[in-house]
Amino acid sequence: MEFTLHPDLQRYVNEHVQPAMAAIPAERKGSLDLIAAFVKERRAAGATADLTFICTHNSRRSHLSQLWAATAAWSFGQDHVRTYSGGTEATAFNPRAVAAVERAGFQVVKPDGKNPVYEVSFSKDHAAERCWSKKYNDAANPQKDFCAIMTCSEADKNCPIVFGALDRISLPYNDPKEADNTPGEAARYDERCLQIAAELWYVMQQAAR
């Protein structure tokens, strides 16, 4: 099967994501390799590899991670991978983060509402990801046998136990919220989007070997 991303997204992967993989620090690869090992182990067991990305508000980093993990898994033929996100509290998928994934080449259907359910597509050959803010233990997320990936240090600290998780991995990212309402806002979101993309592309590349 040929895996075809939306053209603008494929161009972004080729021109930005793949080159950025070379700059991933060795200490980050330690955590990324743990995620890849989980994906491999679940495939060997004939089970789905459910990845739940968790941050405090489920508004920025966890959504970016969910989307890039789904995109990378599909691109590397890891069809047993399922990606989710949640927070220690629910807010909304932040419009600045939504704009960042659009700039990267994702296609987004944006409804109205305080906590709308966005449909984010990476390929015409795959169903869109449904993204909205929710707690990590929401009924829409797996309740057991998943890997909890902590994408912010606050969520990592505030959730000493993630019930039902088979594995728990710390993968904190700096919050692009720090640049909100500044001239560097878009650049900061783009920087974080690319970092997450490169690291999760690396994960799925390793898992496919």
Distances (CA, A) of 55 to 86, 187, 199: 7, 21, 17
pLDDT computed for residue 141 by the predictor: 97
Pairing of strands 146-150, 49-55: parallel
Separation CA 8–CA 17 (nearest Å): 13
Q: Is pTM, for the whole model, over 0.85?
A: yes
pLDDT computed for residue 153 by the predictor: 72
6: pLDDT strictly greater than 90: yes
pLDDT computed for residue 63 by the predictor: 98
What average pLDDT score do residues 158-166 get?
79
75: pLDDT strictly greater than 60: yes
pLDDT computed for residue 160 by the predictor: 61
To the question of domain 7-207 being in CATH 3.20.20.70, the answer is no
pLDDT computed for residue 156 by the predictor: 62
Q: How confident is the model at residue 23 (pLDDT cuts 50, 70, 90)?
A: very high
pLDDT computed for residue 121 by the predictor: 98
- The pLDDT tens digits of the residues spanning 172-209 come to 999 999 999 999 999 999 999 999 999 999 999 999 99
Distances (CA, A) of 140 to 15, 31, 66: 34, 26, 14
Closest CA to 86 of 191, 190, 195, 159: 159
53: pLDDT strictly greater than 70: yes
Tell me the domain boundaries of the chain: 7-207
114: pLDDT strictly greater than 80: yes
